[in-house]
Amino acid sequence: MAIDFLVRYPDYLADALLDLYEADHDTSLLDVVDCIFANEEPSVRVISMVRWHFGAYQKIETALSTLHAFGLVRPMKLVKDGENRRYDYHLYPKAFSFLDTAMDEVPDLQWYRDRVRLAMKVATAKSGSKLKGWQYEHEEYSNTPQGFVIPSIADKVKARLDGLKRKLA
């Protein structure tokens, strides 16, 4: 869910990319974040999530059941001591060919692939728990009451981007 959150909230993704920029000074990350705002992604591409007991939440069973019905994915539960501990998902090879075909037929879908890659760049060095912790560092996120939609941080991130760009000039 933490990676899904980054794809669905481009402003939080942009903020995480700025964190990476401040760690390694890769100016291409500033260009990516600049592009996110130039394309108005925080207002146009956001797919809101509700804050629930353990953070951002969206029931994914419906989407997964559709993917499972078409033989693209198989959900697997890790049960230990009689309790569900984790869910993993096995992706079948035909899922990848389906995605390639879909992106060839509908090029706009490539945006999602590109955003997943950026989210994975952020997530690579962090566990799910650390990603959740990072989300809770944002006052807007942590102060969202349970059952309410997590708000945007676009204005704050845009100001941060502008400040970082001024330092480079």
Report domain extents, the chain. Answer: 2-168
pLDDT at 2: 86
The one-digit pLDDT tens for each residue of the chain (169 residues) are: 788 899 999 999 999 999 999 999 999 999 999 999 999 999 999 999 999 887 887 777 777 888 999 999 998 877 777 776 667 788 999 999 999 999 999 999 999 999 999 999 999 878 888 988 999 999 999 999 999 999 999 999 999 999 999 999 8
Q: Rounded to an integer, what distance in angstroms lies between the CA atom of residue 109 and that of residue 115?
A: 10
pLDDT at 45: 94
pLDDT at 56: 85
Q: By three-state DSSP, how is residue 169 classified? A: coil
pLDDT at 61: 77
pLDDT at 54: 77
Q: By three-state DSSP, how is residue 92 classified? A: coil
Q: Rounded to an integer, what distance in angstroms lies between the CA atom of residue 84 and that of residue 76?
A: 10
